[in-house]
Structure 1
Amino acid sequence: MAEAEQAILDIEHTYEQERLKQTQARLHRWRSAVGQELDYGAMRAVCEQDDRGYAAIEQQNMKREQAKQAEAEARDIVKNAEHQARTVHTALVRRNALKQTLDREHKHHKHVQEELKRDQQSQMLFAHRMGRSPI
């Protein structure tokens, strides 16, 4: 994510430099042509240089847009990863809660079984003693 943001900053800086350079070059070309009688070929050459300058600016603009798109995609990837992490965390919390509930229920069941077994043994011992009792 940080790489995408840094790439955008770098490309924005490059775009601004290229735009400034091309604007200054255009200004210089036209200022140097002021007061001169230019033939059609010279005017055409100046216009072509302007077009190349505009194309360079547009190319930098396209790179900037691509970098912004890459950053947006990176943000989406991070957002999806965070969502997945939250989903996994929630599932783990639920699983651990269920495991604790099952462990408690198992211990309770085991305790009840042990009590039942002790009660049965006590009843059998009582019945056995009552059978031998002289009363």
Structure 2
Amino acid sequence: MADPDRLKLRQAALLVRLQTLREEQATCDLAVARAQTAQARQQMAEATAAYEHESTAQTDARHQRWLGRVGQELSGRTVKALHVEDEAGLASIQQHSLSQKKARQRVRQTEAASKKAEVAMVLVRNSATRRKRLMLKIQQDYKRAEWLREEAARDQHSQLLFAQRLAEKQA
């Protein structure tokens, strides 16, 4: 095997191995991104459920507070106390709403990261396919060159035998 051919073959094999490692890394990155997306979606579902539960609970509590005061004469302090409780309930609802928005934002971020990982995976696979095609072409070129060298050696050997027999007949 000629040195340039051997070098090309080694380089192509090295590139294929390197591309395989890149493909494995891209696969791992994609799996992690998908897992993070699933986790973020679960957290968003939990945050939504907590928001709805808190909203319902605070609305019911407010309704019960004010319903319990129907028909009663309310002093200014009592009304203020009821309003303070209402504000605390609204603050709790707003806190859950904020948590829900943060969870929704995290889902968007993880979906974007997942999409980016999928695109990277496609690029890596395309590159791996090109590298494998290159490796096959180099191997085919090498086999063809080897075959041509062997044919040339056989032809040369045949010519030598022919020349030798011709010389023997003439002698």
**TM value normalised by structure 2:** 0.72
Return the offset for 1:105. Answer: 0.8
- Structure 1: distance between partners of 2:170 and 2:41: 97
Aligned amino acid, residue 91 of structure 2: A
For the aligned residues, what is the CA RMSD? Answer: 1.7
Q: Helix, strand or coil: the match of 2:116?
A: helix
Point out where structure 2 has 5 or more consecutive residues left out of the alignment: 1-36
Return the offset for 1:35. Answer: 2.6
Matches within 5 A, 1:1-135: 1-134=37-170
Moved over 3 A (4+): none
Point out where structure 1 has 5 or more consecutive residues left out of the alignment: none
Query: Which gives a bigger RCO, structure 1 or 2 (Cα 8 Å, sep 6+)?
Result: 2
Aligned amino acid, residue 40 of structure 1: G
- Structure 2: distance between partners of 1:122 and 1:17: 94
- Structure 2: distance between partners of 1:134 and 1:12: 105
Aligned amino acid, residue 112 of structure 2: D
Q: Helix, strand or coil: the match of 1:84?
A: helix
- Structure 1: distance between partners of 2:158 and 2:45: 83
Aligned amino acid, residue 35 of structure 1: G
Identity across the alignment (%): 33
